[in-house]
Structure 1
């Protein structure tokens, strides 16, 4: 009888540990400054989630290694010109502020996977990159930050690459 309950108890303990480690905290802490994410200033977005015209444009050297280090945090990168054609077309729509083909385009991306740099909720917005042959939204997305950062995923948030523009 005892041998049967040990695996169940161990499974329950592991489940509790997993929940604890995934971060049940309501605020994020910025590891570089020690401040909570609510202390971090942000840019503005209009009601559709696109950049407001008052935001500062990206510097012309945004594709340089120093610009990459400042916001990509050492993650993998991809040049905009190396993105699939559908992703480049989606970037054009993002830059124009739409219109977008999917109702969920421009909605807040929660970064629950914590693969992108940590910021307060509302900092990131996601956009669908159509996949030829898919009947639904597919797995490809572009995620933008309030300061002109762009990230690309082709595996539905399992991994990201910073887009160098």
Structure 2
């Protein structure tokens, strides 16, 4: 008899665990956030800019990641930056969709803070591995290896 009363509790626990694990920045997101001994977040605040707009030239790199000058990006990357600044139109339906930052390479932010955009790769039959990820405060990052590494884009240079 005892196993029958435990089964519903076990199932409810599994459902709750799945909800928390896939529910974005809920309870589990708070547990994984780095904190200082005083309990405050250790995330570096990003400079302010209107969402969807470009970061101002000379913006401080909020990530500590290596930087790449805008002028050093491939031509396709520079075109995608122009499209992001103009608000589109984008080539792929996935462009402008939320980027989950599951790799945790970029600074931790609330779910939906980052958006991803495809940087086309000549000769590729699919979207390829190159992306620009834009933060709501205007900072942008480039990856050419499908999120294995990122570089902060120093815009205007």
| Structure 2 residue aligned with 1:4 | none
Paired residue secondary structure (1:26): helix
The answer to whether the 8 Å contact 2:70/2:153 transfers is yes
Partner of 1:59: 56
Cα distance 1:60–1:159, how it changes in 2: closer, same or farther (>3 A)?
closer
CA distance in 2, matches of 1:117, 1:25: 17
Against the structure 1 CA distance between its residues 161 and 60, is the aligned structure 2 distance closer, same or farther, given a 3 Å change threshold? closer
Q: CA deviation at 1:43?
A: 7.3
TM-score (norm: length of structure 1): 0.66
Unaligned runs of 5+ in 2: 1-26
User: Could you state the TM-score of these two structures normalised by the residue count of structure 2?
Assistant: 0.69
Pairing 1:149–2:110 present = no
**Any gaps of 5 or more consecutive residues in structure 1?**
1-23, 46-50
* Structure 1 runs, 4 residues or longer, greater than 6 Å off: none
| 8 Å Cα contact 2:119-2:130 kept in structure 1 | yes
- The separation in 2 between residues aligned to 1:127 and 1:96, in whole angstroms, is 13
Q: Does 1:76 align with 2:66?
A: yes
Matches within 5 A, 1:20-39: 25-27=28-30, 28-31=32-35, 34-35=40-41
TM-superposed deviation, 1:31: 3.8
Taking a change above 3 Å as real, the CA distance of residues 60 and 134 of structure 1, as seen in their structure-2 partners, is closer
CA contact (8 A) 2:50 2:137 kept: no
**Distance in 2 of aligned mates of 1:30 and 1:120:** 13
Query: Higher relative CO (CA 8 A, sep ≥ 6), structure 1 or 2?
Result: 2
Quote the Cα distance in structure 2 between the aligned partners of 1:83 and 1:31. 34
CA deviation profile, 1:20-61 (whole Å, cap 9, x unmatched): xxxx92335254672499xx9x9775xxxxx1xxx6x63343
Residue number in structure 1 paired with 2:8? none
